[in-house]
Structure 1
């Protein structure tokens, strides 16, 4: 298998931030503000419907989302972005008779009659965490920097729902955007998608599914996959697990932010167990399904258990002639972008923005 393990060596900037010399170890990081989910994976695997466990998860969910919303709101205010975009909340009907909220961000400078290119964004959080307000800074930054309309979709989470509901929510939201975004100042002919972590997996699923339905002629003009979750770890192909020395699953099993125990928890709560189901197995799909895919940008953290599947997916797309851009951030963990003082955080944001700008550039022969 390909050996990407050199990217997993902790970077000096990460060790400097944390003050921990063994930057690959999760032990001791909880005291420095990291979310500690240790032990919850075992409960989720054995008794996921236990009322006490579900209540405990929901309380953790509320506290985590609230903390991230407070941080996002302060950052949003400090950057002045709040004054540069207009925000509108909508409800998107889903196939099961429910709805999911979405938030639209439009640049204020464009005028009421302007039609904006569209970027649909799906947050990360292991399908357990995430909210609209928690992504205000990210979405406002993109909308303002590129003068486009950003659609922030808050799909439903575990433990309230299980697989495949988040994927259905993503597709239903995409259909809503395709049919209705012109009424909100967007251009339905210029739709791109993207997401982080679990949200990156949703964006990858959307793009592949759309390409299957309309090979080379789909409605999605580009996909941005940030540290994407593309495979269920227990169902991953052998070549990702064959070597403990080089596999990201093994090298980064105790990595900060997203250790193996957190991955196990997220998967157990999602309850996706069928290895033939491609919703969260996009890189195992049939070869024909990749032909004609739109431009793809992949952002990868080196000290991340999701590293290998992202890099391998990028390689597979390149082999099939898909215009693909891969940005690697060596020695940094999954989700490092939320640490504002890291020198690589603005570099990640720039790579994210540059990717979307690239999607809207004319394709050259």
Structure 2
């Protein structure tokens, strides 16, 4: 049985950072939505300080894409400043972290522009970066977030000529990248993509997602964690890292509860059926979508002190056993979504690995 507990010992850099006093919780008297605003503003400010101001020639477009229910899905596109006819850039769809609850256009501005400029230095046509501001809990719950992401993907894939002429994007070469809840949505989008390709292979063949880059991905609901796949429950990340500062078990369950908008006490049968859905718990699902012929290359970034560590590593193992091409990076001694703290040296290593992953994904 797998034992990943050695990755959970705090690193020297993390211990020094944790003792610096930087990590301060929001004021206790804030409501849920006030706390969300506080954390969003804090993230935007930090990322502006570290990644900004924008460097290089970047054009930014705000694009509203219609959802099936008629609501506009906000997206923001970052591209190189060149005539669209003089480039044909692959597209990265960026899906932000925050438990399906946090994040907005402003929190991702500096990072997306920075990533766009980094990739321009490595690739002749550069890469465009599109951030999807999917709708959040508690106002919206599953499957709204996933529907928003897939709608954006399908809109671009269906309108390749428009994407090329308007923004210089090759929307037949799309990579999905996300952290935490964003990684979960990236996996869900890939599942829908495979399911639709299987149903209609002739019409869907040119809409295949080319790659996934997943950082600290949740891959199974906590009620279904497969303890039988690890050495024992006590050394599992769900127990070892249950009280870590950035994402402990209490907050994990809060985010899942808001996302699924149901409780075991209220709707036991519905709850049991919902959490086993492949779109919720791909790690433990028996649905045959993880087909190496259709599933995209998948890159994993897993943090050693993360409560989600084991489920990320086990999902990578599952994909690899099915013949899917994967890349794996482990960051021992760092907590969940440490990459959201870009001042860390380990976060800088993550950024280097992220760029290498993107460049390694085949475009055909």
TM-score of Structure 1 vs Structure 2, range by shorter chain: 0.7 to 0.9
Work out the CA distance in 2 between the residues paired with 1:158 and 1:263. Answer: 14
Q: Check conservation: 1:92, 1:100, Cα contact below 8 A.
A: yes
Aligned to 1:25: none
Aligned to 1:281: 281
Q: Check conservation: 2:26, 2:38, Cα contact below 8 A.
A: no
Aligned to 2:145: 166
Work out the CA distance in 2 between the residues paired with 1:263 and 1:324. Answer: 26
Q: 1:54-96 deviations in whole A, cap 9, x for unaligned?
A: x911111112112222223333434x43x43111001111122
Aligned to 1:230: 219
Q: 1:103-142 deviations in whole A, cap 9, x for unaligned?
A: 000012x443111111111000001100112112221222
Mapping 1:115-154, distance limit 5 Å: 115-146=88-119, 147-154=126-133
Aligned to 2:351: 349
Q: TM-score, normalised by structure 1?
A: 0.85
Work out the CA distance in 1 between the residues paired with 2:180 and 2:251. Answer: 13
Work out the CA distance in 1 between the residues paired with 2:27 and 2:183. Answer: 22
Work out the CA distance in 2 between the residues paired with 1:267 and 1:166. Answer: 13
Mapping 1:2-81, distance limit 5 Å: 2-19=2-19, 32-35=22-25, 56-78=31-53, 80-81=54-55
Aligned to 2:177: 194
Mapping 1:185-264, distance limit 5 Å: 185-214=168-197, 217=205, 219-239=208-228, 243-264=232-253
Work out the CA distance in 2 between the residues paired with 1:172 and 1:361. Answer: 21
Mapping 1:264-303, distance limit 5 Å: 264-271=253-260, 273=271, 274-286=274-286, 288-291=288-291, 292=293, 293-303=295-305
**How far apart are residue 184 of structure 1 and its match?**
2.4
Can you give the 5+ residue segments of structure 1 that lack an aligned partner in the other structure?
Answer: 21-30, 39-52
Task: Give me the CA root mean square deviation.
Answer: 2.3
Alignment CA distance shift 1:189-1:37 (3 Å): farther
Work out the CA distance in 1 between the residues paired with 2:63 and 2:324. Answer: 34
Aligned to 2:339: 337
Work out the CA distance in 1 between the residues paired with 2:322 and 2:230. Answer: 24
Work out the CA distance in 1 between the residues paired with 2:287 and 2:148. Answer: 26
Aligned to 1:46: none
Give the length in aligned residue pairs: 334
Q: 1:309-336 deviations in whole A, cap 9, x for unaligned?
A: 1100101111111110000000100121
Work out the CA distance in 1 between the residues paired with 2:27 and 2:299. Answer: 30
Q: TM-score, normalised by structure 2?
A: 0.85
Aligned to 1:314: 316
